[in-house]
Amino acid sequence: MTDATPRKRLLIRTWGCQMNVYDSARMADVLAPLGYAPTEAVEEADMVILNTCHIREKATEKVFSDLGRLREAKRERGGEMVIAVAGCVAQAEGAEITARAPWVDIVLGPQSYHRLPEMVARASRAAGAVIETDFPAEDKFDHLPETTAPQGVTAFLTVQEGCDKFCSFCVVPYTRGSEYSRPAAAIVTEAERLVSLGARELTLLGQNVNAWHGEGPDGRAWTLGRLVRRLAEIPGLARIRYTTSHPRDMDDDLIAAHGDTPALMPFLHLPVQSGSDRILKAMNRGHTADDYRRLVDRLRAARPDLALSTDIIAGHPGESEADHAATLALIRDIGFAQAFSFKYSARPGTPAATMAGQVEEAVKDARLAEIQALLRDQQTAFNRSRAGMVADVLVTGPGRHPGQMAGRTPWLNPVHFDGPESLAGQVVPVKIVAGNPNSLSGVLAAPATPSARERPAA
Chain residues binding ligand SF4 by CB under 6 A are 163, 165-167, 170, 172-173, 207-208, 246
Asked if 198 and 152 touch (Cβ cutoff 8 Å), the reply is yes
Sequence-distant (≥ 6) Cβ neighbours of residue 109 within 8 angstroms: 86, 87, 88, 90, 91, 94, 132, 133, 134, 135, 175
How far apart CA 231 and CA 190 sit, in angstroms, is 10
User: Closest CB to ligand SF4 among 247 and 425?
Assistant: 247
User: Closest CB to ligand SF4 among 48 and 250?
Assistant: 250
Nearest-approach distance from CB 177 to ligand SF4, in angstroms: 11
User: Closest CB to ligand SF4 among 14 and 273?
Assistant: 273
AA letter at 440 = L
DSSP string for residues in 407-441: EE-TT--EEEEE--GGGTT-EEEEEEEEE-SS-EE
User: Closest CB to ligand SF4 among 73 and 355?
Assistant: 355
Nearest-approach distance from CB 174 to ligand SF4, in angstroms: 9
User: Closest CB to ligand SF4 among 228 and 352?
Assistant: 352
User: Closest CB to ligand SF4 among 176 and 229?
Assistant: 176
Nearest-approach distance from CB 217 to ligand SF4, in angstroms: 29
Q: Euclidean distance between the first and final Cα of the chain, in Å? A: 28
Asked if 108 and 86 touch (Cβ cutoff 8 Å), the reply is yes
Nearest-approach distance from CB 351 to ligand SF4, in angstroms: 11
How far apart CA 222 and CA 236 sit, in angstroms, is 23
User: Closest CB to ligand SF4 among 317 and 407?
Assistant: 317
Residue 400 neighbours by CB distance under 10 Å: 7
Nearest-approach distance from CB 327 to ligand SF4, in angstroms: 16
Peptide bond into 244 cis (omega under 30): yes
How far apart CA 1 and CA 60 sit, in angstroms, is 35
How far apart CA 184 and CA 171 sit, in angstroms, is 27
AA letter at 146 = E
The closest of 48, 39, 33, 44 to 1, measured between CA atoms, is 33
User: Closest CB to ligand SF4 among 247 and 435?
Assistant: 247
Nearest-approach distance from CB 261 to ligand SF4, in angstroms: 24
How far apart CA 408 and CA 329 sit, in angstroms, is 30
User: Closest CB to ligand SF4 among 286 and 398?
Assistant: 286
Phi, psi of 435 (to 5 degrees): -105, 105
Cα angle 276-278-279, degrees, rounded to a multiple of 5: 70
The closest of 318, 311, 378 to 353, measured between CA atoms, is 318
Nearest-approach distance from CB 132 to ligand SF4, in angstroms: 22
